[in-house]
Structure 1
Amino acid sequence: MAINHYIREIGRGKQGARPLTREQAADLFAQVLDGAVTDLEVGAFCLAMRIKGESADEMAGFLDATSARLARIPAAARPLVVLPSYNGARKLPLLTPLLALLVARAGLPVLIHGTRTEASRLSVSQVLEPLDILPLAQARGIAEGEVAYVSTELLCPGLKRLLDVRKVVGVRNSAHSLVKLMNPCEGPAVIVGSYTHAEYAESMAAVFERMGSTAMLLRGTEGEAVADARKLPRMDGFIQGRPTVLEEGQKGVTEVPGLPKDTDPLVTAAYIREVMSGTQPVPASIALQVEHILRLADAAASGEKQ
């Protein structure tokens, strides 16, 4: 099989390209994930979609193909909270593990999934390791109150290969958005999606609506799924695809006691331990994010029972 007929449709530039149907997008992405196409075709697909941009139907199709190939996490008694971690830390401490531990302390199972996508940034695994949270060796159920970390390669090797294309061509591709939208769980879940630029807020919201997801969407810390400890971002929610505003957000930056000044993983891990022990206060923005995630989880649980 080949995808050149799809590339002809999407590769005509931003103005001339035509969007694929959800079914066509699923077929195209399935071939890419399965390694059924040449490296040249993969590069052409990545660059064409980068220039054109994904429609909500196309991204839904990509998610359909990915879902069929995931090593799925078994459902738990309570909804799984999914924290994608792909941006890492450039200037600010990486506090995605803090968010995960706070949510888990409230009794929910939490899954962090990710991989390093930029060599110049700190990855979440570097902070998780000193917190004694090591990558799972295989997909398994996650207990209530547990934080687990799984690599993208374990979830879907083809997806990891596609993310790695960035190292060759130098620009992000559709996979970098997809990993922040996908649900790797067999049961109900709350997906915490994040964006770096305002235009992604609209496109990601459209996909959550199209997929009927229960999710949170916010402008996270350097693209991570955790609120900036120093300020309160806008937080939007989706309950089975229905949008709702969770937090309007506030302007301004505040000082946070004890917050590390850089990205050092050992210093960050030590700070997280201090917050969890009560030695340092929970940053207000992250505390609010936890509250909203818990409410979304309740909504996901209610929806599953109906």
Structure 2
Amino acid sequence: MAISHYIKEIGRGARGARPLDRAQAADLFGQVLDGSVTDLEIGAFCLAMRIKGETSAELAGFLDATAERSQRFSTAGEQPIVVLPSYNGARRMPVLTPLLALLVARAGLPVLVHGSPSEDARIGAREVFERLGIQALTQVREIAAGEVVFAPTEIICPGLKRLLDVRRVVGLRNPAHSVVKLMNPCAGPALLVASYTHPAYAESMAETFALLGASALLSRGLEGEVVADPRRTAELTGFRRGAAVQLQAQAPGTAAEVPGLPADIDADSTAAYTRAVLDGRLPLPEAIARQLEHLLLLARSMGSDDHPILPAATETA
């Protein structure tokens, strides 16, 4: 098979391109993940989608194809696995996704962090986890309650890793970078923690969660990471089986400094800061504390139809 007929539809430019339906998108993305198309076709697909942008139906189709080709994590208990994608890494601020993951695990939930470096110059969660004594997995396995694991993308879906690496050649993000922030590589209940960098992505991600009936926490993260920016109070939106509710409104302003936050973004400095916060030697930034509170409340609400996902004091009309 080939994908040239799909490229003809999506490659007509920002105004002339036509969106694919969910089934078409799944077929197209499946062929790309399977490696059954040429490098030229993959490059054309990546560039066409970069110019056109992804619709929620297309994202849902891409995720359908990914799910069919992915290894799945499981847990022995009934609690959901909290899924934290980590692909952007540290740019100007330390990567604090490992801190959030360890805080969630401390509350007794199984935690899956998955990721792959997109740029060699950035420090990723994997390096910080290694400094904290958590080595990357080499195969998919069961996750225990209260445990954090880090899974490289290639053990979940090798084809997705290959597509992510196209960025190193082309220099631009492609649909794989959206998929990894939305995918659910779990066999049972899961709570996806997702982030966006631009408001337009927030809309398409929210629509995709609704289409998939997903349970998720969505916010603007720290330089593309899912953990809250410790300097700001961001808007938080919760999804339970696709139904959305605002958990926290955005507050204006940016803190000039965060107590104890290292100026250096290297893995050793970040790991030392993470340990100090976990041990209580440094305060947990308020923005991350509030994100953690909402995340845990949302996770605990997933098994009940009548359990509120908002405290009464923060419900919105």
Question: 1:100-150 CA deviation, whole Å, 9 max, x = no partner?
Answer: 010110010001000001122111111111101111121011111101000
- Name the CA distance, whole Å, in 1 between partners of 2:115 and 2:244: 26
Report what 1:283 is aligned to.
Answer: 285
Q: Does 1:302 align with 2:313?
A: no
Q: 2:278 corresponds to which letter in structure 1?
A: M
Which residue is equivalent to 1:129? 130
Identity fraction in percent: 62
CA contact (8 A) 2:75 2:145 kept: no
Query: C-alpha distance in 1, partners of 2:81/2:304?
Result: 14
Instruction: Give a deviation string over 1:172-202, Cα, whole Å, max 9, x none.
Output: 0001011000000011111011111111111
> Does 2:168 align with 1:146?
no
Aligned residue identity for 2:162: R
Structure 1 CA distance, aligned partners of 2:226 and 2:7?
32
What residue is the counterpart of 2:312 in the other structure?
A: none
Kindly state the Cα deviation for residue 257 of structure 1 after the two structures are TM-superposed.
1.4
Shift of 1:44: 0.5
Shift of 1:10: 0.7
- Aligned twin of 1:81: 82
**Does residue 222 in structure 1 map to residue 243 in structure 2?**
no
Which residue of structure 2 lines up, in the alignment, with residue 271 of structure 1? Answer: 273
Secondary structure of residue in 2 paired with 1:246: strand
Map residues 243-254 of structure 1 onto 2, 5 A cutoff: 243-254=244-255
State the distance in 2 between where 1:235 and 1:67 align.
Answer: 26
Segments ≥4 residues shifted beyond 3 Å = none
Aligned partners of 1:76 and 1:109 also within 8 Å: no
- The CA distance in 1 between the partners of 2:69 and 2:135, in whole Å, is 23
Matches within 5 A, 1:42-53: 42-53=42-53
Secondary structure of the 2:89 match is: coil
Identify the residue that residue 156 of structure 1 maps to in structure 2.
157
The answer for the alignment partner of 1:168 in structure 2 is 169
Aligned residues: 304
User: Could you say what secondary structure the match of 2:112 adopts?
Assistant: strand
Q: Which residue of 2 aligns with 1:182?
A: 183
Which structure 1 segments of 5+ residues have no match? none
| Correspondences of 1:5-20 after superposition (within 5 Å) | 5-20=5-20
Structure 2 CA distance, aligned partners of 1:75 and 1:128?
21
Q: How does 1:176-215 map to 2 (within 5 A)?
A: 176-215=177-216
| Rounded Cα–Cα distance in structure 2 between residues aligned with 1:7 and 1:135 | 36
In the TM superposition, what is the alpha-carbon distance from 1:263 to its structure 2 partner? Answer: 0.5
Q: Provide the residue aligned with 1:71 in structure 2.
A: 71
**Does the aligned pair in 2 maintain the 1:76–1:187 contact within 8 Å?**
no
Which is worse superposed, 287-296 or 33-42? 287-296
The residue number in structure 1 matching 2:59 is: 59
Partner of 2:35: 35
Question: Residues 45 and 203 (structure 1 numbering): CA distance in 2 closer, same or farther, change over 3 Å?
Answer: same
RMSD: 1.1
